[in-house]
Each structure stands twice: as C-alpha cells, then as structure tokens.
Amino acid sequence: MGMIHEIDYGTKPSAATKLVTLTIDGQSVSVPEGTSVMRAATEIGTQIPKLCATDMLDSFGSCRLCLVEIEGRAGTPASCTTPVAEGMVVHTQNAKLAKLRRGVMELYISDHPLDCLTCSANGDCELQDMAGAVGLREVRYGYDGANHLGATKDISNPYFQFDPSKCIVCSRCVRACEEVQGTFALTIEGSGFGSKVSPGMSEQFFDSECVSCGACVQACPTATLMEKSVIEMGQPEHSAVTTCAYCGVGCSFKAEMRGEEVVRLVPYKDGKANHGHSCVKGRFAYGYAQHKDRITKPMIRAKITDPWKEVSWEEAIAYAASEFKRIQRDHGQDAIGGITSSRCTNEETYLVQKLIRAGFGNNNVDTCARVCHSPTGYGLGKTFGTSAGTQDFDSVDEADVILVIGANPTDGHPVFGSRMKKRLRAGARLIVIDPRRIDLVRSPHIEASHHLALRPGTNVAIVNALAHVIVTEGLANEAFIRERCDWAEYAEWAAFISKPEHSPEAIAMLTGVPAADIRAAARLYAEGPNSAIYYGLGVTEHSQGSSTVIAIANLAMVTGNIGRRGVGVNPLRGQNNVQGSCDMGSFPHEFPGYRHVSNDTARGIYEREWGVPLSAEPGLRIPNMLDAAMDGSFLGLYVQGEDIAQSDPDTQHIVGGLTAMECVVVQDIFLNETANYAHVFLPGCTFLEKDGTFTNAERRIQRVRKVMSPKNGYADWEVTQMLAQAMGMKMNYAHPSEIMDEIARTTPSFAGVSFARLEQEGSVQWPCNEAAPEGTPIMHIDHFVRGRGRFMIADYVATDEKTGPRFPLLLTTGRILSQYNVGAQTRRTENAQWHPEDLLEIHPHDAEQRGVKDGDWVKLASRAGETTLRAKVTDRVALGVVYTTFHHPVTQANVITTDYSDWATNCPEYKVTAVQVSHSNGPTEWQRDYQAHSNAARRIDAVAAE
C-alpha cells in the first residue's frame, strides 16, 4: 500500500460542455470552455509552478508564480486566472519566465525560516517544492525585513497548530474557511511584509469562530497550519481511501498511515459526497480507536451483578450459542432475537439479520433506525415507493429555494451544511422551520427569508398550512400532478387540505407562527422554480413523524418538485450507515431491499439462497422485545454495535426488559450502558480495522477499508459468522466482498453492486441494476418507483404530551457539532474540549420568571422523571421552549422523555416533552454517583484479566 497522491489541478473544473482547443508548449489540448490555462496544462502533465492556487478554491491570482506567455498578448499573465481560448498558444517555460519566477520565490523565501530539514512539513511543503521547481539557489534580500520570523505559535486548537513564522500570506486558509467551510473565521490583517493571518479579532483559534473543520490546514501550502499528529509522528508513509464512520454525509477520507498507526485523515477530493471537505469529527476525532477504555478480549458472566471474566473467543461464542439454544429449547423458537447497528457495515448488518432469520428461525430483528428515521421509510415508501431520499448532495447546487425542517445541518451534517451555505451565498433563498434559531437562520452572508419558529409538535399543522396556501391560491402544478400522480387521490387530498381549518390563520395560535409568514413561505416554496426540502429528526421523532413525512411528500408533489436536479425530498440521516442498515433488512417485517416477509417471491429467494424455510410472520420490534422480556417470553438478545439502554426512550422500560433476560450478548468497542445488563461481551472493532461498505444519506455505497489489524482479533462480521456457526448454521465467507455478492444476488436494487465495481467507480448510488447500470443519483425522474405518486391525507393530531400548570415548557433536543450521539466515541477524543457537558437552553424571559441565570444548575422535570444540568440563557429558543443535547450519559435525557411514539413506526417522540425548570443546588445524588455506579457495573475480574 503506497501513498495516494491526488493531482492538484490548481483551479476547479469547468462545468461547460463546449470544448476549446489550444496549444501549450507545442502540445495540443482540448478542455471545456472556462477552464484555466493552469488546469489545461496540468491535464497534459505540465505542472506550472503555483502557490496561491489550489483546485479546492476559486483562483485568486496573488502570488504571481504561475506566469506564462501567450502569443499575441502583452505581458506575462497569471495562468491560474486566465481562461483558455480557442487557438491560444501558451508557453509555460522559457528563460524570461524562469527569471521572473525565481524573483518571486526569492521574496517569499527571504521572509521564511530556512529550517526545512527539521520542519515537520519537510517533504510535504509546496514552498519547498516550488523553490526547487524554479531552481532557486540563493536569496539576495537578506532575512531581516519586517517579517514574521519571531511570531509566536498558536497551539490552542487540540488538533492543529498555527506557526505564523512560516506563513507566506497566500490566503489559501482564509479562502478555504470562506469558500469551502463558510465560517469566515480567518482574516488577513495589515499589508505588505507586515500582513498576517489571524483568527477573528486577533484571537486564539480555540476562542474564535473556528469550528475546527481543518479546511485551512489542508489548504495551507506550508507548515504554518499543520496537524499536531504530523508534528508528533512525522510524515505518513502509506494511505488508503475509506469512509467516515460518524454521520450520514459519508465523507471519504485518505487514512494516511505510518505502519498501523494513523498519522492523519485527509478528506479525499474524489469523494463524491464531500469533494475533499470534512468536519471536526471525521477528520480529527478518531483517537477513540486507541482509547484505553476499549475492550479487546471477550468476556462472560453468569449474572449481571457478577464481575466480568475474560475468556477465549471459543469459550465466549460457545457460551452465547449454548445459552441461545437452551432458551429456544425451553421457551420456544421466538424467545430470542437481535438488534443490528447503523454504525456497522452493510455486510455486517446483513449477516446479523441473516443469522436471526435463518439461524434463530424467526424475524425478531430490529435496528436503532427505529428511533430515528423509521417514519422516513414508511412515509416515502407509501407516497413515492422508495424508502430513501430522492437526490444526491450535488443537487443542492441547482436549488433556488431550500426548505430546512427539523434539521440543523451545520451541526448534524456539517459538510453538507457547508455545501448548502455555499449555495445560499450564491443566491438561493432559505426557509427554516424549527423551534430554535439554528445557525443557518443567520450566519455570515446568509439570512433565511423565513424562519417559522413553531411550537414543538406542530409540524403537520405547519406543512399542511403551506400546502393549503399552495392549493387555495392556485399555485399547484396541475400539469405535473396529472402526468405523474394519481389524480383521484389528489382531488380527495386537495379537498381536505383546502378546508379552512388548515389555513395559516386557523393554525397560527396553535403553532405560534404568524399566518402571514406561513403564506409568504408557501409562495416562495411554490415559486421555486427549483425547491428542495431537507429534513431531519425534528420531523421524524414525533408521535406524528410519519404524518409529517407524508405531508412533506405531498408538498413536493403538489408543486412538481420531484424528479430532477435541484428539487426533491431529502432526509438527512443521522448515523453513518442508517440508510444501509434499513436497506439490509434490519426491520422485523422486511427482507433486504424493503420486501415484506410475507411476500412469497422474496421469501422464496432467501429460502433458496440460505437453504432453510423462513417465517412469513413479522417479528418483534425493540419495544415489543422488551415487553415480551418482562412477560417472560423473550429471554435472549444479540446486540451488535448499539446502545439501547442509552439511546432508546424510557430508560426504566429498557432496564426492566434487559434485566429480565437470561442471555444478553453485546458486541461493541466499549462497555456501553447496555453492556451493564449483558452476560456475554464480544469486543468489536472500529471502521479502521475492517473492510466493508457504508451507504450514506444519498444512497451512496462507499468502501470502508481496513488500515490496521483488529485490536480484538476479528472484524465484526467474522464474530457474527463464528456465532452463526456455533448455532449450527453453515456460514463460511472468506471476505466481506462475498457477502456483498450475496446481497447483489438476492436484492434487485443492489444487483449491479460489487466490491470490484466500487474499486473502479469509487462509489455508486442504489438502485444499481440492469435498469440503472451506473446507479441512480436522482430518483423518480420519469415516474415514481411505485408508478403514480400517491397523495395521502395526513391530518394534524395533537400529541398526547401536553403542557399544563405543572409542566408548562416544551423540551426539544438536538446535536452539537463536536459531539456525536451518545458521545461514546467523541467524548473519548479531544472533541470533549468543546462540549464538556450538556446545557439547557432557556429563553431569557422564562429564565427570569424562574430566577435562573446563565450557568446556574437547574432541575429539569417531566412526567417521566427528572435530571439536573446547567442553564444557558439565550433567545435562540422561543418563549416556552427549552432545548438540550444528549451527548453525555450523565445528563440522562431519556429519563425525561416520554414513551409516546409515532403511530406508524413506534419511532419515539424525543422532540416534544412537557417539562418544568427550577433552581437546583447541583447534580442529583444519582448523577454524582453515576461514575461509581457505572464502574461497579463494568467490573472486570482482576485475576482473570491478568
């Protein structure tokens, strides 16, 4: 495995289709109109020296190193800012140009410390390369000008340092922060030799607006901005392309290694989801893989009150299998089941559901997507025919109006958030529907046209009111509806939605949003011409989650915003492989590819492939498994890479269910909260230690590549295979590619997918089969997958969770950029510095009424339970609404949330809880004792551990 070197073309590619032919150094080249001379030269292998240009950024033309001569034109224009022209004759190398370039380089070098041999960028420095390229041998200016050589380093960021003495003021960092990331954290102060780069108002990086995305570090051609890991470990020796294991954006990275150690992760420019960008989690927060808390040896215990005992793999697997078999013998075939993970690969998830369906002989398989995007599957499946988003991420570049509802892309899906911001800076209009003023509403050079700050729990009322305005004001796209949708269903829905009770005026009081704002937003969305909807868990995690997804689908259909670039309905998926885990048959009623278990054809395919009869009855969902456990009819559970005790609602119910079981097998990288109730612990491995694929929010299947050996000895799919074999199944895959071959053989939408194809193309979006051999970036182009688009009536029904005198406020929850979900990984990295605790955001008026000041400890109580945390007084949240994140287990947010759930899918209602906030003296006793409790539950037998 060598180093992957990506060519830097200096400027971005041109999207034009018309080709222009020119001659460069006697060689003819044809490139799209609008391409720079620099890029055209690079296409034919001629690297023109450059410093301020890089192909991630717009050309700038400041360093004057890339000068060329063009016949018939005066002077020596910069090749990075000069577009090609038909018949142009360019010379990139001659004595005059060489002299000019040497002069430019001399000026740079005269203001640069000449410590190349000991510099951490030695061998990976563009300044060094360019000095060599222009043949600079001596510097005539002396080194004592008004330079930066004495400037002090800024080491405040945990992941990278800023050494201004090495800065050549090329402004690549400033432009990367603006153009790629959209944060505008950096500026260039002063001018000439005195000019310097500075975060914010001469602040330290850590205290500035910087969100630590690393785009500036990647753009910097010198060692000025540099990863601390490179400084500590030295330059990497080899690399492989893999996929981020955090969020559903699915950023592609080069893992740059020394031996089996990661030196750094560098976003891969060829990654179709991220185009060379990343966020602080994916790029920097991989240290958890080496954390001391990782468990690498299997463990068992007879009772959950016993300490853990380390055993061999053979013993742990044999014990788990014999317990599962015993339970089935004593309590019936349906007494065991399993839970798949949206963090694991497609191949691993497929194997777990196969083990359950074919090995356990029932359909008791479910997944954590139950608690996030199951309403998406239901709602989009019913209306459009496919349980997935309709677009690729690139589509946003062609959107004129962007509607974001119940999502916070700059924190939850940061790389796509940056992409969206870029489009908004270029002129697209923005509508935000969210109880909280998320960053997108107002950020540098972006201002939402409308922020509808609705009361939590009223999504359906708002989306229906938007549709009401569109239908009653004659803004519906009748031609699209007649051609693409079922007209009779539309007519019925239109009659329903036109009723006065759905008008903005009728629901203004209920939602807290002025009617005029709703009307204006509806007109803007209908006008488009290209309007795109992006939504997140703020839509799905409600008792009416499925209804809102259906209402959103209606809105897109009634305006014809489906089936081309720039439009669509796009769920922003939370976890890296939540799309994949749903695709792979993780739900109790569906085989891979969303085919019902009662479907004889689909069942026949798997019966033939797996050689066993399969049940046609849907199995138990997670909450039903726990209920059945309390009843004594469900006693064994295999949980791969999922922490239901921490992430599922109603903690008491879960604890009760898990405690009632006789054999809980947990496979994970850390002893998580669920493991406190487990009898067998099978150590898992991280994404760096295994091969496989993840599927991101745009249905893009991408490779995960092993760059180090599993610390626990086995990849997760191998562990499932060992368990399956011990249960008596014939399972003998030699590599995950063989599992993907089986998926392709049995799942029509994956028929054209293979590791070989992914090797060749980098990634592919399903459906990928005979009908779509290249994959499917945009869905429903000529017709909906289900045939005709289906308008379904989604009436607003108030949640049973009501405010009242005892609980007058509404709590809603969300995420913060630096942390990820329950924080198991990010809390074990330096990211913890940004978010050491969960805070409760409360409106200044609500705070004042309760005598709460910023930073005070407050008690947060609901009908379900109570916890304490510190308050942050802010008008980001509306009056009557409070908000918190749930990244720290000690906060116990799920003690507060209720057990209400979506009517169609049981997705829990995390986003609406009636609460009261009052003063508190500090953490509860339980919270204070949390560490002691959890240490006790995680005891490992000292003798056995040696």
> Dihedral (C-alpha) 925, 927, 929, 935: value to the nearest 10 degrees?
160
- List, in sequence order, every residue forming a beta bridge with 914; answer none if it has no partner: 810
User: How far apart are alpha carbons 722 and 557 in whole angstroms?
Assistant: 48
Q: Does 697 bind ligand SF4 (CB under 6 A)?
A: no
- Which run of H or E residues covers position 717? helix 716-726
User: How far apart are alpha carbons 912 and 917 in whole angstroms?
Assistant: 15
Site for ligand SF4 in 316-335 (CB under 6 A): none
Which is closer to ligand FES, CB of 171 or CB of 696? 171
Cβ distance 227 to 678 under 8 Å? Answer: no
Which residue, 449, 307, 455, 192, is CA-closest to 940?
307
Which of ligand SF4, ligand FES, none interacts with 905 (beta carbon under 5 to 8 A by kind)? none
Which is closer to ligand FES, CB of 80 or CB of 810? 80
User: How far apart are alpha carbons 733 and 692 in whole angstroms?
Assistant: 13
Tokens of 118: 């000991």
Cβ distance 827 to 833 under 8 Å? Answer: no
Which of ligand SF4, ligand FES, none interacts with 279 (beta carbon under 5 to 8 A by kind)? ligand SF4
State the angle between helix axes of 313-331 and 716-726 in degrees (0 to 180), rounded to the nearest 10: 50
Site for ligand FES in 787-816 (CB under 6 A): none
Cβ distance 643 to 391 under 8 Å? Answer: no
Which of ligand FES, ligand SF4, none interacts with 24 (beta carbon under 5 to 8 A by kind)? none
Quote the least distance from Cβ 13 to ligand FES, whole Å. 17
- List, in sequence order, every residue forming a beta bridge with 31; answer none if it has no partner: 20
Residue 784: φ, ψ to 5°:
-70, 155
CA distances from 690 to 51, 236, 260 (A): 38, 20, 13
Site for ligand SF4 in 221-250 (CB under 6 A): 221-222, 224-225, 244, 246-247, 249-250
Close Cβ partners of 171 (under 8 Å, ≥ 6 residues apart): 52, 60, 62, 188, 197
Task: Determine if the peptide bond prior to 767 is cis (ω within 30°).
Answer: yes
Quote the least distance from Cβ 757 to ligand SF4, whole Å. 22
Quote the least distance from Cβ 88 to ligand SF4, whole Å. 30
Q: What DSSP state is assigned to residue 190?
A: S
Which is closer to ligand SF4, CB of 139 or CB of 793? 139
Which of ligand FES, ligand SF4, none interacts with 53 (beta carbon under 5 to 8 A by kind)? ligand FES
Which is closer to ligand SF4, CB of 169 or CB of 494? 169
Of 22-30, 182-190, 376-384, 844-852, the window that binds ligand SF4 (rule: CB under 6 A) is 182-190
Q: Among 220, 369, 462, 753, indicate the residue that binds ligand SF4 (CB under 6 A).
A: 220
Which is closer to ligand SF4, CB of 169 or CB of 685? 169
Quote the least distance from Cβ 227 to ligand SF4, whole Å. 11
Which of ligand FES, ligand SF4, none interacts with 219 (beta carbon under 5 to 8 A by kind)? ligand SF4
Q: Among 49, 158, 236, 282, indicate the residue that binds ligand SF4 (CB under 6 A).
A: 282
Tokens of 571: 């769920």
Which of ligand SF4, ligand FES, none interacts with 282 (beta carbon under 5 to 8 A by kind)? ligand SF4
Quote the least distance from Cβ 167 to ligand SF4, whole Å. 3
Quote the least distance from Cβ 841 to ligand SF4, whole Å. 23
SS3 32: strand
Q: What DSSP state is assigned to residue 177?
A: I
CA distances from 235 to 4, 58, 231 (A): 13, 28, 8
Close Cβ partners of 276 (under 8 Å, ≥ 6 residues apart): 56, 180, 218, 267, 268, 269
Of 115-123, 215-223, 317-325, 807-815, the window that binds ligand SF4 (rule: CB under 6 A) is 215-223
The 401-430 contact track toward ligand SF4, x by CB under 6 A, reads: ------------xxx---------------
User: How far apart are alpha carbons 244 and 230 in whole angstroms?
Assistant: 20
Which of ligand FES, ligand SF4, none interacts with 414 (beta carbon under 5 to 8 A by kind)? ligand SF4
Count, residues near ligand FES per rule CB under 6 A: 12
CA distances from 222 to 14, 280, 616 (A): 27, 21, 62
User: How far apart are alpha carbons 268 and 276 in whole angstroms?
Assistant: 5
Count, residues near ligand SF4 per rule CB under 6 A: 42
Q: Does 172 bind ligand SF4 (CB under 6 A)?
A: yes
SS3 872: strand
Which is closer to ligand SF4, CB of 281 or CB of 502? 281
User: How far apart are alpha carbons 745 and 751 in whole angstroms?
Assistant: 6
Which is closer to ligand FES, CB of 66 or CB of 226? 66
Which is closer to ligand SF4, CB of 210 or CB of 507? 210
Quote the least distance from Cβ 58 to ligand FES, whole Å. 12
Q: Is the dihedral of CA 804, 807, 809, 814 positive or negative?
A: negative
Site for ligand SF4 in 248-267 (CB under 6 A): 249-251
Quote the least distance from Cβ 129 to ligand FES, whole Å. 13
CA distances from 139 to 66, 102, 133, 143, 150 (A): 20, 9, 15, 9, 19
Cβ distance 687 to 288 under 8 Å? Answer: no
Which of ligand SF4, ligand FES, none interacts with 214 (beta carbon under 5 to 8 A by kind)? ligand SF4
Quote the least distance from Cβ 152 to ligand FES, whole Å. 28
The 13-52 contact track toward ligand FES, x by CB under 6 A, reads: -------------------------------------xxx
Angle at CA of residue 87, ends 81 and 91, nearest 5°: 55
Quote the least distance from Cβ 206 to ligand SF4, whole Å. 10
Of 62-70, 180-188, 525-533, 854-862, the window that binds ligand SF4 (rule: CB under 6 A) is 180-188
User: How far apart are alpha carbons 394 and 392 in whole angstroms?
Assistant: 5
Q: Does 181 bind ligand SF4 (CB under 6 A)?
A: yes
Q: Is the dihedral of CA 37, 43, 46, 48 positive or negative?
A: positive
- Plot region of 75 (φ>0 → left; ψ -120 to 50 → alpha; else → beta): left
Tokens of 799: 């949640």
Cβ distance 713 to 327 under 8 Å? Answer: no
Q: Among 121, 216, 352, 873, indicate the residue that binds ligand SF4 (CB under 6 A).
A: 216
Which of ligand FES, ligand SF4, none interacts with 61 (beta carbon under 5 to 8 A by kind)? ligand FES
Which of ligand SF4, ligand FES, none interacts with 50 (beta carbon under 5 to 8 A by kind)? ligand FES
Strands (E), 766-838: 809-814
Site for ligand FES in 53-112 (CB under 6 A): 53, 61-66, 78, 80
Which is closer to ligand FES, CB of 108 or CB of 384? 108
Binding site for ligand FES (CB under 6 A): 50-53, 61-66, 78, 80
Interacting residue ranges for ligand SF4, rule: CB under 6 A: 167-173, 176-177, 181, 183, 185-186, 197, 199, 210-216, 219-222, 224-225, 244, 246-247, 249-251, 274, 278-279, 281-282, 413-415
